[in-house]
A and B are shown apart, each in its own frame.
Chain A
Amino acid sequence: MITININEKEIRLDKPVTVLEAARTAGIKIPTLCAHELLEAYGGCRLCVVEVERMLKLQTACTLIAADGMVIRTKSEAISNARRSILEFLLINHPLDCPVCDKAGECELQDLVNKYGATAGRFKEEKRKVPESHEDRIFTRNMERCVLCTRCVRMCNDVQGASAINIVGRGGRSRMEPFSPTSFNCEYCGNCLTVCPVGAILSRPHLHSLRPWQIDKEVETICPYCGVGCSFVVQVRDESIKRVIPRFGFGLNNGLLCSRGRFGYEVTGSQERIKVPLVRIDGKLHQSTWDYALNLIADKLKDIRDTHGGSAIAGIASPRCTNEDNYVFQKFMRMACKTNNIDSISRIGFASAQRYFEDLLGQGITANIILGLKNSDIILVLGGDPTAVNPILGLSIRAAARNGTKIAVIGNAKGLERFKTLRIVPDIFKEAEVLEYLLTEIFRAKGLRGEKPALDRKIEGLSGKSLKIDIAGLAELKDVLLSGGSVSIVLGMDVVHRSRGHRILFAVAGITYLLEARLYLLSESSNEQGLIDMGCVPDMLPGGRPLVVGDFKKRFETVWKGTIPEKGGLTLMEIIEATKDKKIKVLYVMGENPVFNLPNTSYVKEALKSLDFLVVQDIFLTETAELADVVLPASGWSEKDGTYTNLERRIQLLRKAVNTPSSADDWRTISEISSKMGYEMHYPRAEDIMEEIATVSPLYKDLTYDEIEKGNCLWPYNGEPLRGVVSEIPAAEETFREYKEGLYLAPEKILFHSGTLSRRALALRKICPEPTLKIGTNHAEKLGLKEGDNVSVSTAQGSINVQVSIDTAIKDNKVLLGNNFEGRGVFSLLNYEIDPITKVPGIEGCEVTIEKI
């Protein structure tokens, strides 16, 4: 126990901390410029000077570790004089252009000068002149205002790990600059913006558009983009979101944001939003009224249900909608439409992988805390770049690497290039072999665990096969995994959407099981986990309760007052194929764009065209909505209350920030249609839906909004996870595939965009305006391609023109393209083959020709 005395106040400390921290915990304020709670102590600005008895000079509180018996004063004439002088020095070069500076009103220098004086310097010398730089797409740099606290540089290096900026020059000529003095060319997380105490780095999208005191309200909510579910605050004025700001010390992101979270909020404020229901008359979509549109849908659905049965109806739910939306949606499909044909785009990865792992290893196996990554000794990353798919989770991996955790990458994870301990690149589409090799090696070294007989049998069976693999680094990777430390496995979906993806999933499950590892699944959308928990899957009721178990079904039927159809439903691609075969006649799509987001888009488009009736509920007129018979305007993320469940199964509150009278909450629209069809659903508020979920779902038992608001509502909340025992692990017939030397096209998840949603975020389009084809250095050289060349990318499915970007991290013969931009999505060029076990549309072996144009 350390006892110190600050301003006559006795403070007891459990462990040695800095005087600054001790003062903060005791509620004593010490002014700082260079110190920041997320950054290491720096001792650069000297503003935090304090008097310490028996120490000759003033001491900087941020670097001084409190020792037992210290007597400290934070206020005295000498301290005030020192602070005034420091500020006067800072003002030598500061331009004092507060009236035109966007930071005014939230500027730390302004506040300090206001408090301690020295409003102008006595120095007569010319102030340093550095022209303001507007050359970057997003950031404005004003190095006259900079006080060289280096918070931005330390944030970028030590926390974000992008290391895109640094102090350049020395002495009086020091300034912060990115590598290219003009463009930042970085991850555009903007975390430098939030730590800059002055107006030296500003966001161009917000320049001269906002004063901090003009904000009407601030609403704490959850980011709509990826499955991490970061907390942030939206600032609203005139019913429009003006800015997203982080809240330090809050939420699992603790104030850090990524480019999508910070700059992607503009989507819901877009002018292109659908404002009224649209109904197809004579082949064209016409504006209509809510009453007409809803009656039309209800009548059509009732008609098809009664004449062809529920199996002629299918629904596609959305991982971007809230738990409440999805719960009501599946209840509507099951009870009103009498079908279990419910699935979502998550089938392509997350939902399938999660289901596979839960079947083998038990429910909740993927529900691991993101912060726990930092405590792992070894992190194995495969199937994607965590820093692009789930950037804030990626930061945890980078932080772990800095603390000595070994990072092993299989395949390509560009954002971890500088953080990895080792990386192996399997032959193209041969990850399964590598993982099976690792699994058998681990089995040979450690033996079986004997807890899950079916799993044990299959692992033993695998080890009988003789595997000959010769890949650089594989032996080292095996040794690292067997070195005895705690292992976390971060699995991206690139290895799940394969035609034999279940082999990879089994090997990962086996490794997880034998090493008792923690498993994390990367999740591209905000509510993929919630979607599954809510029962938007063809064979599960809410809470992950299998439809085939009669007891569960009866329990739901009692509460829902009706019968749930016996027959399990079709999965996503089966729905599309059944649509093509005219077995499904009506498709209800909530917040999804299958025409763009599924492989073999031309086939999907043909399938949807052959429907009798297509309903799309969305915020934009998407490629799918253009084919619909009725399009209903939906509320966007910032316009509704509800909950999201993130990839670690944390349930968090989404709060309504703006009002838009022209659209309706998805759940409200659906309950109205349901009631019109004779199955009554009445929920006054989203909270009432959660109340029902908390009674029926065994995982969300007794959950209330009040509880969620308090934070830390992690699954299973008061509930019981299901413990099943698998007796047999399904396997499919093996087919041997040989891949030639050519180039193969694969989808890429890029950092700056998310699906098709971010298309309407102007700032994100500024950062990344064009789709680019990523190609490795070797292949680019062979084809004579340079950065920025225009090429045509052709496969058996079609051809599109894009720019080339050379990526040094790509070491195999894959070329990557994202699926984000209008008419130029990678899925339009890819075909698929359904994995017989997971039902994932497998994308592999798609040969591609690249020609310069």
Chain B
Amino acid sequence: MFKETILKEIDDIKARYPDPKSALLPTLYIAQREFGWLSHEAMHVVAQSLNLPEAMVRGTASFYTMFKHKPMGRHLIQLCTNVSCMILGAERLVDFLKNRYSLEPNITTTDRRFSLVIMECIGACDRGPAMLVNTDFHDSLTEERIEEILEKYK
């Protein structure tokens, strides 16, 4: 179950909407923040706290890619490889991550420091390649720059 403070936070979210269903996505975010990823237990807890059917919670959560459906590293790198970023060298960066950190798409490093997900366009086509680390946005990436940035995430 959630801690008291978290339950309070969820109650505040619930109070914003006439129907608890509307509080589902924000609550899933909270669960992801608290548990690291949306395990079955986490979704069960979400369902309980909103008095919603578990199957519905899972159905909704599984639709969105921004929810983690398996345990991930401490930091999630989401790198764009769509056309603009690809032309500007995103695929070289994928290779670089593999060589430098043994980090491959949909894999978590053994020290659980990083997970890599290849994502679709994040709207930075003029400054590609671009990536998100957790919720921080980084653009104009090169091999040197990406290493420099990642050093900040231990």
Contact = CB atoms under 8 A, between A and B. Distances in A.
Interface of A: 156-157, 162-170, 177-180, 417-418, 808
A808 B48 contact: yes
Contact of A163 (B44, B55, B62, B63): B55
A169 B63 CA distance: 5
Interface residues of B, number: 16
A659 B54 CA distance: 45
Q: Which of A163, A164, A179 has the most CB of B within 10 A?
A: A179
B55 A165 contact: yes
Interface of B: 40, 43-44, 48, 51-60, 62-63
B62 A170 contact: yes
Given A180-B40, A808-B48, A168 B53 contact: no
Contacts of A167: 59
B56 to A, nearest CB: 5
Contacts of B56: 157, 163, 166
Contact of A418 (B40, B51, B60, B63): B51
B21 to A, nearest CB: 11
19 contacts: A156-B55, A162-B53, A163-B55, A165-B55, A166-B53, A166-B55, A166-B59, A168-B58, A170-B62, A177-B55, A177-B58, A178-B55, A179-B53, A179-B55, A179-B57, A417-B51, A418-B52, A418-B53, A808-B48
A719 to B, nearest CB: 46
Contacts, number: 41
A201 to B, nearest CB: 14
A164 B55 contact: yes
Interface of chain B, main secondary structure: helix
Please give me the 7 A-B residue pairs with the lowest Cβ-Cβ distance, nearest first: A166-B59, A163-B53, A179-B54, A166-B55, A179-B55, A168-B62, A170-B63
A157 B56 CA distance: 9
Contacts of A180: 40
A166 B56 CA distance: 6
A415 to B, nearest CB: 13
Given A166-B58, A418-B52, 18 more contacts: A157-B53, A163-B53, A163-B55, A166-B53, A166-B55, A166-B56, A166-B59, A166-B60, A167-B59, A168-B62, A177-B55, A177-B58, A178-B55, A179-B44, A179-B54, A179-B55, A417-B51, A808-B48
Q: Which of B44, B57, B63 has the most CB of A within 10 A?
A: B63
A179 B58 contact: yes
B62 A169 contact: yes
B6 to A, nearest CB: 18
A398 to B, nearest CB: 12
Contacts of A169: 62-63
Contacts of B62: 168-170
Q: Which of B53, B56, B57, B59 has the most CB of A within 10 A?
A: B59
Nearest to B43: A179
Nearest to A178: B55
Q: Which of B55, B59, B62, B63 has the most CB of A within 10 A?
A: B55
A168 B40 contact: no
A767 B58 CA distance: 23
Contacts of B53: 157, 162-164, 166, 179, 418
Nearest to B58: A179
Contacts of A157: 53, 56
Contacts of A179: 40, 43-44, 53-55, 57-58
A808 B60 CA distance: 24
A170 B63 CA distance: 5
Contacts of A162: 53
A417 B53 CA distance: 11
